[in-house]
Structure 1
């Protein structure tokens, strides 16, 4: 079973190895989208980090099924423009999406 991320009307949820984790929308304090280049071949890894109001966080990588859709849903929910994931580079500043208000 591959890892999957889903953003629904209740929040954002990951499923890995049969377990589900996530946060409801009111619990999300913000999110950041960024790119890492992993040695030795500088493999490009897209990552979104979802911050919980308690200080905990959920890290989701681009190899999760549903990643791009989940990033778009988080950005829309936060009132932000969806970042162009294909254009992001490690040199870019972290693209922050935060709740309005």
Structure 2
């Protein structure tokens, strides 16, 4: 059975739980703002709206697998580093 969000929207089983706090930390460590990340994603992946990245960082949205790969690429980390373990509810760091 497909799970739904509180709004009744079906959850996509291919969307993995993104560690938004870590994405934000990586961005801060590089001295980048949201626009810097969005620009890099546009060059290496496809255009992404700034609100999409904000929502990922705050945990309101998870990144799709292709977006996870693009984020991992621009930050120089593995995709696993950007995910939360479903058992421990923590990232791998």
TM normalised by structure 2 equals: 0.34
Question: Which structure's relative contact order is higher, taking Cα pairs within 8 Å and 6+ residues apart?
Answer: 2
Larger strand share, 1 or 2: 1
Larger helix share, 1 or 2: 2
